[in-house]
Amino acid sequence: MDRIIGIDYGRKRVGVAVSDPLGIFASALDTVQSAKIIEYLKKYAENEKVVLFVVGYPINMDGKPSEAAKDIDIFLKHLAKAFPNTPVQLEDERFTSVLAHRAMIDGGMKKQDRMKKESVDKISAAIILQSYLDRKK
């Protein structure tokens, strides 16, 4: 089954989300240490057919890449090397953390659980991926 992977890359942690086989819905999957993300993705790809990576890309309000984009650019090079035949699509990640917090509140998540950055990261990845999927419909 074809899967699209959504990625919210950060210096310490990476949020990962996955699409359903039809490419309609995104679901939060996991939060992984940044140093281990390529290894994690390779292991995931052993069991599922990954057809696309959607990576959140930080853009300032003026439309230019933010300072954090430098880290993501390095990650993108590693991702391309590890998965040379899998395309990568960049998705504007502005406000995804705010939206993730709102989704957690609306979903009834307890405050203690909302404070866990791992939860925010993987929900942000799902928001990034869902944004891409909605735009492609």
What's the CATH number where 123 sits? 3.30.420.140
Asked whether residue 56 is assigned to any structural domain, the reply reads no
Query: Which of 58, 39, 59, 41 is closest to 50 using CA atoms?
Result: 41
Asked whether residue 98 is assigned to any structural domain, the reply reads yes
Count of the separate structural domains present in the chain: 1
Tell me which residue range forms the domain holding 119: 2-21+34-49+66-136
Quickly state the pLDDT bin for 106 (edges 50, 70, 90): low
Enumerate helices (H) and strands (E) in the chain, giving the number of each: 5, 5
Asked whether residue 40 is assigned to any structural domain, the reply reads yes
What percentage of the chain reaches a pLDDT higher than 90? Answer: 62
Asked whether residue 26 is assigned to any structural domain, the reply reads no
Asked whether residue 84 is assigned to any structural domain, the reply reads yes
Q: Is the pLDDT of residue 95 over 70?
A: no
Q: Is the pLDDT of residue 13 over 60?
A: yes
Mean pLDDT of 61-87: 90
Asked whether residue 110 is assigned to any structural domain, the reply reads yes
Q: Is the pLDDT of residue 21 over 70?
A: yes
Residue 2 has a pLDDT of 94
CA distance 23 to 80: 22
Mean pLDDT of 97-123: 62
Asked whether residue 85 is assigned to any structural domain, the reply reads yes
Beginning with the edge strand found earlier in the chain, give each strand of the sheet holding 88-92 in spatial order: 26-33, 13-19, 2-9, 49-57, 88-92
Q: Is the pLDDT of residue 110 over 80?
A: no
Asked whether residue 59 is assigned to any structural domain, the reply reads no
